[in-house]
Amino acid sequence: MVTNKVSVGRKWLEPVPEENGRKIPRSEWIKKRRHCWIVRWYSTTGKRHGKLFDKRKGAEQYARKLQVLVESGKQDEPSKTTLREFVEEHERVMKGQVAHATLMDQLRALHMLQEFVGKSVLLQRITSRDAEAFIASRIESGLTTGTVNKDIRTLKRVFNLAIEPRGYLRDGQNPFAKIRERRQTAKNIRYVTVPEYRALMEAAGSLWWKALLSTAYCCGLRRSEILHLTWADIDFDAQRVRIRPKESGPKTIRWEPKDHQHRVVPMSDETAQFLVDVQAEAQEGFPYIFIPQTRFARIKARLETGRWNDRKAVINNLTRGFEVIRSKAGVGKCTPHDLRRSAITNWAQELPVQVVQEFAGHSNIATTRKYYLTVRAEDVERASQLMNRMLNASPAIDTKLTQNGGTE
């Protein structure tokens, strides 16, 4: 039995007609016997299937697409499941596969979609029209364009999982696949200049804050990466910082970097000196650089009672503390993450963008280009000076020639 071939044939819809008490000959069936077209194939279990079409052209088009699925072993009909069942399964199977914050964003978007289309709707019945209407309702509710675009990206990703590996939808059935993100004006990236950084350091006061700000500005680390640094991550001899996951242990908290990859970033002389000073005051045997031992004990206690997840702040009121320093320093509005952005921008002045991407820990170089590289004031000045040099180096145009049409 050939089970990997999709066939197209006629499906007769009535018995063989009779004329003068005798059945018409087979040669006249096509003209005088009602029929449609049927596409037949076998599932991976050997069960025979068929689908009817009015026109031969439609049947052949369907058969060509189905043949591709048959050859890749994906011809089986997707299992029917409701949106509610899918959401419940998604929450169960994705725990530990993605960061807790990412899973919460996905579940938030899915629950809102449930409220819009209904929990009991079959996943296969959600169309691109439903997706477009849902996004339109989100815009009408007054959300920012950035938030709406985040919903589009999130749901597009989740429904791709419904195709592969879960098999609830066929390829091309993602209802959000063709929903375009709404256009928005790009926000200016806040670049913290070196004088501003110096002012922040002067206002920081404590050695702990000076070391943290220096690590952010000179090493370009994310907040969570800084807070989960241990002394084992610091190579003072080579002046390198290693970003790597941590396993749960008596003196450590389980943690994964955002990109789920190890990377090494350079460390400035100044940052190294601050960390040396912090180490001189640190308690012997305690691994963390920036998590106080008392705070670590509270976190471990909550972990043991199930009252902790990785969305909670490892250090309380870090943003508030930074705001106090920024205000005292007289520096314009910025955030701790702007220190990281500024480090990446500084690297980009001298290093190839692929190297900057690696130091930044971005899986996509487009992220580095779009969100972290900014035009500094000195870049604008350099561009102006360049044009001045080019114009001054060019011979002046003879005004007589211009007035006389190029001849005397």
Residues 33-43: tens digit of each pLDDT: 999 999 999 98
pLDDT for the residue numbered 405: 54
For 147, the domain range is: 83-163
CB atoms within 10 A of CB 232: 11
Strand blocks (E) in 32-109: 35-42, 48-53
H helix intervals, 27-82: 29-32, 56-71
The per-residue pLDDT for 404 is: 54
Q: How many CA atoms lie within 13 A of 396 on its CB side?
A: 3
pLDDT level of residue 373 (50, 70, 90 thresholds): confident
Task: State whether 150 and 238 are in the same domain.
Answer: no
Q: Please check whether residues 67 and 103 belong to one and the same domain.
A: no
Domain-terminating residue out of 49, 71, 93: 71
What span, in angstroms and rounded, lies between the C-alpha atoms of 92 and 90? Answer: 5
pLDDT band at 98 (very low <50, low <70, confident <90, very high): confident
Instruction: Give per-residue pLDDT as tens, 300-315.
Output: 998 888 887 666 678 8
The answer to whether residue 19 sits within a structural domain is yes
Inside any domain, residue 179? no
**Residue 98 in contact with residue 189, Cβ under 8 Å?**
no
Look at the chain and count its residues. Answer: 408
Q: How many domains does the chain have?
A: 3
Do 219 and 276 belong to one domain?
Answer: yes
More confident residue, 406 or 69: 69
- For residue 349, pLDDT over 80 is answered with yes
Structure tokens at 395: 């011979």
- What is the pLDDT confidence band of residue 259, given thresholds at 50, 70 and 90? confident
CB-CB contact of 37 with 58 (8 Å): yes
What is the amino acid identity at position 382?
Answer: R
- Token pair belonging to 216: 């952010």
Domain identity same for 209 and 317? yes
CA dihedral for 280, 283, 286, 288, sign (positive or negative): negative
| Residue where one domain finishes, among candidates 163, 179, 210 | 163
Cα torsion angle, 196, 197, 198, 201, sign? positive
Same domain, 92 and 63: no
The pLDDT, as a whole number, for residue 237 is 94
Residue 398: what pLDDT? Answer: 53
Mean pLDDT of 95-118: 90
Q: Domain boundary at 71, 103, 121, which? A: 71
Q: Are 158 and 215 in a shared domain?
A: no
Same domain? For 62 and 147 the reply is: no
Residue 314 belongs to a domain: yes
- What does the pLDDT read at residue 95? 85
- Greatest pairwise CA separation for the chain in angstroms: 111
Q: Is residue 336 scored above 90 in pLDDT?
A: yes
296 pLDDT above the threshold of 50: yes
Token pair for 396: 């002046």
- Please report the pLDDT score of residue 401 as a whole number: 44
**Between 110 and 164, the higher pLDDT residue:** 110
Question: Does the residue 224 lie in any domain?
Answer: yes
138-154: average pLDDT: 93
Distances, alpha carbon 37 to alpha carbons 58, 181, 403, in Å: 9, 40, 80
pLDDT attached to residue 233: 97
Whether 125 and 215 share a structural domain: no
- Segment 155-159 shows an average pLDDT of 96
Q: Are residues 220 and 340 in the same domain?
A: yes
